[in-house]
Structure 1
Amino acid sequence: MVNFAIVGCGHIAKKHAEAIEKAENAKLVAVCDKIPESMQYYKEKYDVQTFTELDDMLHEDNNIDVINICTPSGFHANIAIQAANAKKHIVVEKPISLTLEDADAIISSCRENGVKLTVVHPNRFRPAIKELRELMDSGKLGKLSHADATVRWNRNQAYYDQAPWRGTKNLDGGVLMNQAIHNLDLLVWLMGDLDEVYSMSATRLRNIEAEDVSVGVAKFKNGALGIIEAATTIYPKNLEESISIFGETGSVKIGGVTASFVEHLDIESMDKEEIDQIIERVKADPLGKPGHQCIIEDIVEAIKTNRDPIVSGEDGKKALELVIKLYDSADTNKPVSFEKNVGVNS
């Protein structure tokens, strides 16, 4: 049994607790939050130990194997480094951090302490996305032309007013960093490393520091192009999250409100029956096993077999880097290139 502890008992922590409960060979044994009342639910439902100080939890309970970081994003780095130094494996909510320097520090700390690190990008585990990845790995789309990553969602002012850190640049970020980063992770994972981006962003409708709408274009190192659109200004509710890939011999669009359905699939080397089978297979179970549960089960297996998690710290850094480059481009009104960073990946 691999024992887990959650740091930060806000909204997303419940997903982690449920995922740990459902996952094989996983058990939630402790939670930590500065506000004692926030931990009461977990104490009653899961019979866990509670701590208001992370240092106390790390050093008083030696049964903890993995720390799940569910705090506001700006706190991720300090908590992850402290946990890694205590020889705990780490599951960190997206984004891995808010700066590349912090991401490098997290990755380095985990490497130096010999602990596993995974970032919560659960969309990779959705049935439709897995089908798309398999098609791309098989080469059935041929030479890639371009891709489109779109997030058209609604987050009203009440959402941002729930907590003072929401929508701030130092602790949260805007639509790119908070909502669209999952789709951007898919874009990089499917299309490969980026060469250059150009972006514009604005804060049009929400009273927040960060952006609520962003549009941009990208060039990948393989020569393919990309289009990125992200907004939390859609009225009156979430409209779509989609990713489309276009190649010389195939085109695919995964869409719906949360990128869960095959909305278009046309492959030169596949007949209609094969294509229909994929579409129906996804339609029968569009969400599949919950993504957070997949993340938990994966790190359990990674610990037991001493392999890297499927979504690594480096993967989390790539998604973060794309967001930061889009921010840089919007701030300077110029294209921004992806040069090799000084740090753990140099």
Structure 2
Amino acid sequence: MARIRIGIIGLGNAVEPHAKSLMDLGNRVEVVVAASRSEDRLKAFAQRFSFPMTTDVEGVLASRDIDAVWILTPPHSHLELVKQAAKGRKHVLLEKPLDITLDRAAAIVSGMRGSGLTLGVTLQHRFRPAALRLKAILAEDGLGTIGAASCTVPWWRPQAYYDQPGRCTLARDGGGVLLTQAIHTLDLFRSLVGDMTVTAATAATTPVHRMETEDFAAALVRLANGAPGVIQATTAAYPGGEERIEIMGSLGTAWLAGGSLKVAWLDGREEVLRQEGPTGGGANVMDFPHDWHRLLITDFLDAIKEGRDPVVSGEEALKSQELIGEILEKAGW
């Protein structure tokens, strides 16, 4: 079977788990080239990976020797790069979020849908084994009727993180803790409990940080079945803890904490699935395994081959970004 030919665009922090995953999937993909306009980024990347490299981003997007591109650049650049990729007839795996505003995000989704090409978004928390197991339990109505649910992201980022040029500014990243960090857990939460409506919200920049956007946000939500829910996210919780999802049903309760799952049923049964290790909630933002990326990429490759949407399609990512927009609007941001 012919391997899918890949071009990587953007060699910042986000590239490492992608590059490692693509190496693992060498029987299915060929990385034709990795591109960055920064010579320093190219040099740093070359110390860790042996893929061919270039500074010619436009050439990668236009090349007939490439079937799909990984766009791992800052959010404000996504729309234009995706447009060029679609013009060059390339499938796109896009780093989250889609873009810095909902209008630009929607333009990406509609443009790729209209092109007939595959669009996937890197929201890899859906592919944690514990999350997949809970998804299966819920699909079988294993918890019964959901009575309430909550989602908490108690992460930490030092001020040095926000002192980097453009970090969590509206112009480059489009937002703070919700769009840049908590979007992973919010997307997973929404995929498990379904769409929801925000009834009240608050957001703030705490005294812990000097930054343009929010480092704390909380919301009260109403699930589709009328059940109440709570969302809270911050990067001011030193030294950073595991993100947590709790779903209370008529038959039992499930807790996702980081990469681990515990389910307790009213009839006395219990199920525990543990995955020890960091999840990127502290100062080292890339301190997590690349396994979840590999599973997401595998699904994306399968979607191209089978002519279907990936699990995290553009439309799915847009719904999660719309939820973030609703929280911030309710909070007056």
TM-score after normalising by structure 1: 0.87
Counterpart of 1:70 (choices 69, 72, 78) is 72
Unaligned runs of 5+ in 1: 333-346
Q: Is the 8 A contact 2:61 2:69 kept in 1?
A: no
Q: Distance in 2 between matches of 1:133 and 1:91?
A: 23
Q: Distance in 2 between matches of 1:230 and 1:72?
A: 22
Counterpart of 1:157 (choices 154, 159, 168) is 159
Amino acid across the alignment from 2:303:
A
The C-alpha deviation readout for 1:108-143, integer Å capped at 9, x for no partner, is: 221222110111111111111111111111112111
Number of the residue aligned with 1:325: 326
- Does 2:34 match 1:31? yes
Q: Is the 8 A contact 1:181 1:320 kept in 2?
A: yes
Q: Is the 8 A contact 1:127 1:288 kept in 2?
A: no
Q: Is the 8 A contact 2:260 2:276 kept in 1?
A: no
Q: Distance in 2 between matches of 1:147 and 1:26?
A: 39
> What is the SS of the residue equivalent to 2:14?
helix
Give 1:283 deviation, angstroms.
4.6
Give 1:58 deviation, angstroms.
2.1
Number of the residue aligned with 2:100: 98
- Give the number of the structure whose residues are more often helix, by fraction: 1
Amino acid across the alignment from 1:233:
A
Counterpart of 2:14 (choices 12, 15, 29) is 12
Number of the residue aligned with 1:342: none
Number of the residue aligned with 2:223: 220
Q: Distance in 2 between matches of 1:297 and 1:291?
A: 10
> What is the SS of the residue equivalent to 1:131?
helix
Q: Distance in 1 between matches of 2:117 and 2:150?
A: 35
Q: Is the 8 A contact 1:127 1:285 kept in 2?
A: no
Number of the residue aligned with 1:310: 311
**Residues 74 and 284 (structure 1), Cα distance of their counterparts in 2 relative to 1, 3 Å cut:** closer
Q: Is the 8 A contact 2:64 2:88 kept in 1?
A: no
Unaligned runs of 5+ in 2: 279-287
Q: Distance in 2 between matches of 1:268 and 1:66?
A: 48
Give 1:249 deviation, angstroms.
1.4
Q: Distance in 1 between matches of 2:33 and 2:75?
A: 21
- Alpha carbon RMSD of aligned pairs, Å? 2.0
Number of the residue aligned with 2:51: 48
Counterpart of 2:199 (choices 197, 200, 225) is 197
Amino acid across the alignment from 1:245:
I
**Residues 91 and 207 (structure 1), Cα distance of their counterparts in 2 relative to 1, 3 Å cut:** same
Give 1:35 deviation, angstroms.
0.8
Amino acid across the alignment from 1:105:
A
TM-score after normalising by structure 2: 0.90
Number of the residue aligned with 2:260: 261
Amino acid across the alignment from 2:166:
W
Give 1:95 deviation, angstroms.
1.1
Give 1:328 deviation, angstroms.
0.7
Number of the residue aligned with 1:141: 143
**Residues 289 and 11 (structure 1), Cα distance of their counterparts in 2 relative to 1, 3 Å cut:** closer
Q: Distance in 2 between matches of 1:206 and 1:191?
A: 32
Q: Distance in 2 between matches of 1:229 and 1:284?
A: 23
Amino acid across the alignment from 2:230:
I
Q: Is the 8 A contact 1:192 1:222 kept in 2?
A: no
Identity of aligned residues (%): 33
Range with greater deviation from structure 2 (286-295 or 126-135): 286-295
Number of the residue aligned with 1:338: none
**Residues 230 and 30 (structure 1), Cα distance of their counterparts in 2 relative to 1, 3 Å cut:** same
- How many residues are matched? 319
Give 1:193 deviation, angstroms.
1.4
- Does 2:214 match 1:211? yes
* Structural mapping, 1:324-343, within 5 Å: 324-331=325-332
Q: Distance in 1 between matches of 2:54 and 2:140?
A: 49
Counterpart of 1:176 (choices 175, 178, 200) is 178
Q: Is the 8 A contact 1:20 1:28 kept in 2?
A: yes
> What is the SS of the residue equivalent to 1:11?
coil
**Residues 209 and 289 (structure 1), Cα distance of their counterparts in 2 relative to 1, 3 Å cut:** closer
Amino acid across the alignment from 2:332:
D
Number of the residue aligned with 1:336: none
Give 1:71 deviation, angstroms.
0.9
